[in-house]
Amino acid sequence: MTLKQLMLLREIARQSLNMSKAAAALFTSQPGISRQIQLLEEELGVAILARRKNRTLGYTDVGKSILEAAQRLLNEADSIKAIAAEARRERGRLGIVTTHLHARYTLLDPVSAFIERYPDVELHIMEAEPDNIPRLLESNEADIGVSTEMLSSQPTLTQLRGPTMKRSLITPRDHPLARRKHIRLEDICRYPLLGYSSRSRTGQIINEAFEAQGIRPRYLISVGDSDVVKAYVGRGLGIAILPAIAWSEATDTNIHARDVTALFPRSTMTISFRRNAYLRKYAIDFIGMVPGMHKDDLKALR
């Protein structure tokens, strides 16, 4: 068994069983990959991939377990390489996976500061749905994940809790709710709602609050981009509930925002990375650049 064979196995998973793409990603040939996996199966005495004639259908049950173990071994190998690269003061790469909201707002200033401080580090940012972030971290396709509260506990990941995500009710400036002293969910539901897609974490949190009260809002549009939502609100087509960071007093002059955080379940920004992974100094510094991170967590990382 070799690390190369395990790397091939991991890349096949990353490429959704597409052997041609896996071969291209690793600068090798498709027959070469197939031969190496066959040699690994012969050595272990079990089938890792389920096949029908020349077609790969998926992983066998034991193959799934072997893939998980291979990913853990390769992650450890990557940590060893990172330790050596740090000692050699070698330029590195930092992969960040996050949602559209945090890419657009939370990370804008940290990314700018990071590029200025570490111009030689290759920075790569990927957008993904919250449920996909753990998978991209575990498979080492990204080093750090930034999201709004993971949906479930991830035993293979370390999670650092950031600040509470505040939420604002966005309305036209002359809207009745802009002047109302106290706002309830029932008040919001009297007007067309322009909201996040239910596939997004923010959309899920908002919908759960309405469902808990037995209220069904009337959605006019459901998208994943707060700038689109604000444009529709500005035209007077409805109102919206957005993360507070998506509204700016300086630029969003035609709409009004007021805090409604207390109406919804508490959620926090979360930074995640592989448990026991070796984080190079520039990765730790990046985490420290993200607003609202706890100083005690950062001290522990250093």
Q: At 65, which CATH number?
A: 1.10.10.10
Last residue of a domain, one of 28, 59, 85: 85
State the first-to-last Cα distance of the chain, in angstroms, to the nearest integer.
35
Based on the domain organization, do 123 and 257 belong to the same domain?
no
pLDDT band at 300 (very low <50, low <70, confident <90, very high): low
- pLDDT of the residue at 90: 67
In 9-44, which positions are buried (b, 16+ CB within 10 angstroms) versus exposed (e)?
bbbbbbbebebeebbeebeeeeeebbebbeebbeee
User: Same domain for 74 and 105?
Assistant: no
Q: Are residues 136 and 207 in the same domain?
A: no
Distance between CA atoms of residues 31 and 28, nearest Å: 9
DSSP states of 188-213: HTTS-EEEE-TTSHHHHHHHHHHHHT
Q: What is the pLDDT of residue 255?
A: 95
Q: What is the pLDDT of residues 207-241, one digit of tens each?
A: 889 999 898 888 888 887 889 999 999 999 999 99
Mean pLDDT of the chain, nearest integer: 87
**Domain coverage including residue 13:** 3-85
Count of CB atoms situated within 10 Å of the CB of 219: 16
- What is the reported pLDDT for 144? 95
As a whole number, mean pLDDT of residues 64-81 equals 86
Give the bridge partners for 159, in sequence order: 272
Of 63, 85, 107, the residue that ends a domain is 85
Q: What is the mean pLDDT of the segment spanning 235-262?
A: 92
> How do the residues of the chain divide into helix, strand and coil, expressed in percent and rounded to 5?
45, 20, 30
Strand order in the sheet with 167-172: 240-243, 167-172, 255-259
Give the whole-number percent of the chain exceeding pLDDT 70.
97
The tokens for 10 are 């991991």
Question: Is the same domain home to 220 and 254?
Answer: yes
Check whether residue 288 and residue 145 sit in a common domain: yes
Residues 37 and 24 in one domain: yes
- pLDDT at residue 287 in the model: 93
Q: How large a percentage of the chain has pLDDT more than 90?
A: 42
pLDDT band at 302 (very low <50, low <70, confident <90, very high): low
Residue carrying the six token digits 């790397």: 7
State the DSSP H helix or E strand holding residue 289, giving kind and residue range, or none if neither. helix 281-289
Q: Residue 277's pLDDT band (boundaries 50, 70, 90)?
A: confident
Structural tokens at position 247 = 């509204």
CA dihedral over 257, 262, 263, 268, signed as positive or negative: positive
Q: Are residues 134 and 281 in the same domain?
A: yes
Q: How confident is the model at residue 153 (pLDDT cuts 50, 70, 90)?
A: low
What average pLDDT does the segment 265-272 reach?
90
Number of domains forming the structure of the chain: 3
Q: Over 70: is that where the pLDDT of 138 sits? A: yes
Q: Are residues 133 and 249 in the same domain?
A: no
Work out the average pLDDT over 268-275.
90
CATH number at residue 210: 3.40.190.10
Q: 157 and 140 in one domain? A: yes
CA angle 188, 189, 191 (to 5 degrees): 80
